[in-house]
Chain A
Amino acid sequence: MSIPKLEFPPFHLPDEAEALRGEVRAFLKGILPGLKTEDRFASWNTPSPEFSRALGAKGWLGITWPKKYGGGERTFLDRYVVTEELLGNSAPAGSHWVADRQSGPLLLKFGSEAQRQAILPRITRGECYFSIGMSEPDSGSDLASVRTRAEPVPGGFRVNGTKVWTSGAHRNHYCITLVRTSGQHGDRHKGLSQLLVDLKTPGVTIRPIINLAGRHDWNEVTFSDAFVPEDCLIGNEGDGWLQVTSELAFERSGPERFMQNVYVLRELIRVLGRQPAKRTSAIVGRLIARLWTLRQMSTAVAGMMQGGKSPAIEASLVKDLGTIYEQDLPEIARTLAESDATTEDDLADFLDIAQYATMMAPSYTIQGGTTQVLRGIVARGLGLR
């Protein structure tokens, strides 16, 4: 058979990473009970500058970056463990999330020395937050069709266009914005560039887009003759597509792709009591087995990446399976709780949690590459296209 073998070599996180896990757990145990956040069960889209600064003070932001930029020069696997613990313990990681996960690494890879020095240390202190300026009203999965234009003018660019679904733009400092700096709309991958845009720039208007759950995470960001100085170009003019695809790779295989609503499982176990019926235990056990498997797949991908491989297909499979698990979880949990919760109060409380999780669930298979885009990537890997 000529199809490539799918392999997920089991991978143990190294001892140093596991030691770090203990430190992170102890820290979270101390700080989380005292934090006020907007969500009862926080996750990576729940902002808390207070928490981000505390995490930064521990040295756990930009943990892999060079020390000269405030980083910790630790391994990618140490970062993996910190991420896992933030999610596993429902920490409000929303303020620093994008900056630490993809904007910082992007600047480190493609940014100028001045950009790195100005920005990275602030990210590592938990003081500087980023939004992602990719999608537009007419550009979703087909990102290369973006229309926002940055016209070269003396000393910089004049930017016009609209970005949407821009999470956190109303409270973050910067937005790395994908723009067309040359060529025409139909030129696809050519002529795109990335700009480091200060969200306070005159001509940049931020308007809320409320999602179906009533939350204000998203924004529409409009550029009307906004002037962006030339030293805010990231990397080379025209290399935007290459840069943006490398950024997307950070979005696929991490634990955030199957642990966004892990609190549902934890709370389900709580409301079912210490001795659920056999049939109920079996269904809970199946959910736990799926989560465990996803974690093993994700650490296997992390191990391959640490070993210098770029397992794009495997990473896509993790996100595809992981987000579907996250969508199944609130549904299965709700029906179990309805029949088996130990008390009426517990049930009412849990249904509230499950309802919120249900409302958020559709976003999981859309953000960071839709299931259909991912399946296209896998199909190419299988030699089908």
Chain B
Amino acid sequence: MDRETRDMLLETAGRFFTERSGKEVVNGVEKGVWPADLWKAIEEMGLPLIAVPEAQEGVGGTLADLMALLRVAGEHAVPTPLAETALANLLIAASGGKPASGPSTLALGGDSLSLQGNRLTGRVSRVPFASVADRFVAVVTASGKSTLVVVARDEASVEEDPSHAGEPHGTVIFDGTPVEFATPSAVSADRALELAALMRTMQMAGAADKVLATAVEYCKQRVQFGRPISNFQAIQHMLAELASCVAAMIASAETASRDADEGGLENGGSFSIAAAKTQCSDFAHRVAAISHQSMGAMGFTHEHILHHYTRRLWVWRRDFGSEAFWGEKIGHAFAKAGGDAMWPALTESRYAA
């Protein structure tokens, strides 16, 4: 979609999330209350179909449009599998399938998935929203071929293992489970993981931005020793450092999103995504540490919203590959290519070879 349309969509979505996905909803999910109304409204807005072509009854946006939306969703800690569903729908549509309604999630990162006929076997841990999604989407690799599979939730078994942000995550076990749909996949399993990592970097950029705004506003209002604590240089410098970390997260995520979009669904921005996920995951700690320090006990309470974001940053930094996972991939490639290959590769945002 053109720039103006996208900006309008993002503004509408931001307003909508502010109104409908507030503190109580986020806390409710943590207590096990699925926000069915919120999800219904998200579907009515067409958000899970944002990157599905119009010919397949989607909104017709690009991968970059989807990622821009997810940054806004991250800024509001929207406690539904919007990101997972929208990416699943994109993958299904790109592989020639038709996305169904209802929340979906991605069962990625399990090396052990195997497909026999139309039966899936394997185990994937840390699947986001595993216990509330209607279906699981996975990419199975066998003899060099990638197959996209869709499995109805009720066919698989889920060991509930809520995330540290209180979202209903779990381990999914397929045990000769019949698949609802299987088709040659438009992307490899590795690529699906990259795209999911990209989705998390954009959510992290949004969440980090919100953390900065929250800490700055708080420090301007909190009065101690007779003046707002933002008057103290110690606080000013802390928040400036926080801003630098948030800036790095935003810049890396936005670049990866652009590169993925420009380079195409199959392999665009492969290195940029790895670098951005590494960077965002790496800085999640500083962002959480500084923001909490600036807000004292208040920000450490369950009552305050800060933890909606800091806890998500701690979860998201590990989702779909942590800084150790992606960093290793980068380090391995650059070591193999040798020191002199580093600079040329960096200027082209690609793995050294």
* Residues of A in contact with B (beta carbons under 8 Å apart): 1-3, 5-10, 21, 25, 84, 88-89, 262, 265-270, 272-276, 278-286, 288-297, 300, 314, 317, 320-321, 372, 374-376, 378-379, 382-385
Contact = CB atoms under 8 A, between A and B. Distances in A.
A382 B255 contact: no
B152 interface: no
Interface string B320-332: 0001111111111
Interface string B327-342: 1111110111011101
B41 interface: no
Contact of B327 (A289, A294, A314): A289
A320 B240 contact: yes
B250 interface: yes
A378 B279 contact: no
A285 B247 contact: no
Contacts of B239: 379, 382, 384
Given A84-B347, A314-B247, A288 B330 contact: yes
A375 B338 contact: no
Contacts of B328: 278-279, 281-282, 285
B220 interface: yes
Nearest to B251: A8
Contact of B216 (A8, A279, A296, A382): A382
A385 B231 contact: yes
Nearest to B231: A385
Given A269-B338, A289-B282, A8 B254 contact: yes
Interface in B251-271: 251-252, 254-255, 257-259
B342 A286 contact: no
B-side interface mostly? helix
B244 A3 contact: no
B246 A379 contact: no
27 contacts: A2-B217, A6-B212, A8-B251, A8-B254, A10-B258, A266-B342, A270-B339, A279-B328, A281-B330, A281-B332, A282-B323, A282-B324, A282-B328, A285-B274, A285-B331, A290-B282, A292-B275, A292-B279, A293-B252, A296-B251, A317-B243, A321-B244, A376-B237, A382-B216, A382-B239, A384-B235, A384-B239
Contacts of B330: 281, 284-285, 288-289
Residue from B209, B240, B323, B344 with most neighbouring chain A CB atoms (10 Å): B240
B335 A284 contact: yes
Nearest to B252: A293
A293 B248 contact: yes
B241 interface: yes
Interface residues of B, number: 60
Contact of A6 (B247, B257, B329, B334): B247
B278 A285 contact: yes
Given A278-B328, A293-B276, A375-B240, A383 B220 contact: yes
A208 B215 CA distance: 47
A375 B212 contact: no
Given A1-B213, A3-B213, A8-B250, A286 B327 contact: yes
A276 B331 contact: yes
Contact of B217 (A3, A7, A281, A317): A3
Contacts of A89: 343
Contacts of A385: 230-231, 236
Contact of A289 (B233, B259, B279): B279
A8 B336 contact: no
B234 to A, nearest CB: 10
B330 to A, nearest CB: 3
Contact of A384 (B216, B252, B332, B349): B216
Nearest to B249: A293
B285 to A, nearest CB: 12
Contacts of B335: 269, 272-276, 281, 284
B342 A265 contact: yes
A274 B340 CA distance: 12
A317 B212 CA distance: 14
Given A3-B212, A3-B216, A8-B247, A293 B275 contact: yes
A130 B196 CA distance: 51
A286 B282 contact: yes
Nearest to B328: A282
What 4 A-B pairs have minimum CB-CB distances, sorted nearest first?
Answer: A281-B331, A285-B327, A285-B330, A285-B331
Contact of A297 (B217, B240, B247, B276): B247
A351 B12 CA distance: 56
Given A6-B247, A378-B240, 10 more contacts: A6-B209, A6-B246, A10-B259, A89-B343, A275-B335, A285-B334, A288-B334, A290-B279, A290-B282, A385-B230
Residue from A273, A289, A376 with most neighbouring chain B CB atoms (10 Å): A289
B91 interface: no
B219 interface: yes
